[in-house]
Structure 1
Amino acid sequence: MRRSRQAQATDLELHPEKAMRNIKLENVAVTAKRVAVPADDPRRLYGASGGTVVDFANMPEAQSGMTMLQLLQGRVAGLTISGNPPNMSVQIRGQGTPLFILDGNRVDVDIISTIPSNQIESVEVFKGVEAAIFGGSGGAIAVYTKRADPNYKGNDKAPAPGVATVKVPGYYAAREFYQPRYNALLTNPPADPRTSTLYWNPTVRTNARGEAELHFFTADGSGTFQAIAEGVSLAGLPAQGSGTVVVRGK
């Protein structure tokens, strides 16, 4: 019982959330409307806001393989999109090609048409006088991506939708190979069953004649063991050699 209490105390220290009480709440209705891109977002060119906003982040269709322009078709009044990717034409109220703004930078429609919809946070369409601040007569379409969001916190635990995070092992120092510490006073040391490899050394250096002297304990039982040497010459050429080591019984 004492050990059980100690184990529980240790577990609570490592996971304090287990000590919290769980309270089941009744159904809750959320009535607030999410602001896709705040008015003070630095990605807004000239600080412009007030256009028609299409929230891609909460659009199930945006997780498909469709492009942004394909999803905008028929969703914004006055916006006409025709053609097929990558050759698509865009007009707002028949007044010519609008300006395209990607995260605060003006770009061509070719760049916009290649962005997958699952990487977009929201799109804002400016019509008529709404687009006067941009200096164009054909309106403007502002595209905001998820990764350019200043509050984006994509990581290993919560990556951006559509992004696969892969961990690649980096460099680490070589670990020391375990060798039994035999006591010279023991005439019959116990067998060590933990490994079938007798000896391994990653830093063997030879002399000018290519020779090296190694010392290690053999196995307790007799038999024939394989010896493999791999290395690199001073010129960077790889080399490999193999042989056998015979261990005779007592």
Structure 2
Amino acid sequence: MSSLQGHADSATDLPARHVHVEHVMGTVVSIDLRNCDEEEAVPGARSVVRWLHEVDALFSTYRPDSHISRINRGELSPAHASAEVAWVLQRCEELRQDTAGYFDAWATGSLDPSALVKGWSVQRAADALVARGLTDFCLTAGGDVVSRGGRQGGLPWRIGLQHPKDRGALAGVVLAGDLAVATSGTYERGEHIVDPHTRTPPTGLLSVTVCGPDLGTADAYATAAFAMGREAADWTLGLDGYEAMTVLDDERVLLTPGFPLADRAGESR
């Protein structure tokens, strides 16, 4: 999923911080670990990087040897793909039904589950870090973010949402503890999202940001909402456990009631 760049503010005075940046899955992934020593942080970051490269090898639509590419060429049946691929394809079908067909891994005419895979894989990486005992971190992959715990002094993470028309500005800042945030739009990759029902790019929107407990689901919901065009804001009001911010093409911003947007003083609205 193309996304408007999301990122966590850096803290300069917190000890025991480890940051790693990796180019993988066609984007930049940053791993920001807090309140942990090197013996915990380094293997944790390495495990995230290793997992994301494994995901890229399986799901890339650009690598000819990936399972997705082989399925698209008819060389591999989905029934004989890896367990991870089988799970993702099943989840894609569930999400297609949940979104009235607006999330569709076959929207472009060939199989491309990327709008779920990035969020799903980063969420799994975050869950693995928690299982290792790491409690304060922020993982960022393009515009997709998973945060846990907080920064120094119990402060929440501040996740900036790139303004869709001004690279030097933010459309908003989300205050986050344990949260997943995904943004869908045309800012990074152009008109790559289509309405599966019409096979044409949606109109009326600049971006949709969805936040909630699971990044894979948030990623898919953001993609589906963007594909709906101007119907997105009404549809996001009915999401269970997820909140949304929709930026219309006239730059009006529409929020669901619980969206955790911060004001200029840094307090949630």
Quickly name the TM-score band, shorter chain normalised: under 0.3
Per the normalisation by structure 1, the TM-score is: 0.25
In terms of Rg, which structure is larger? 1
Q: TM-score, normalised to structure 2's length? A: 0.24
Higher relative contact order (CA 8 A, sep 6+): 2
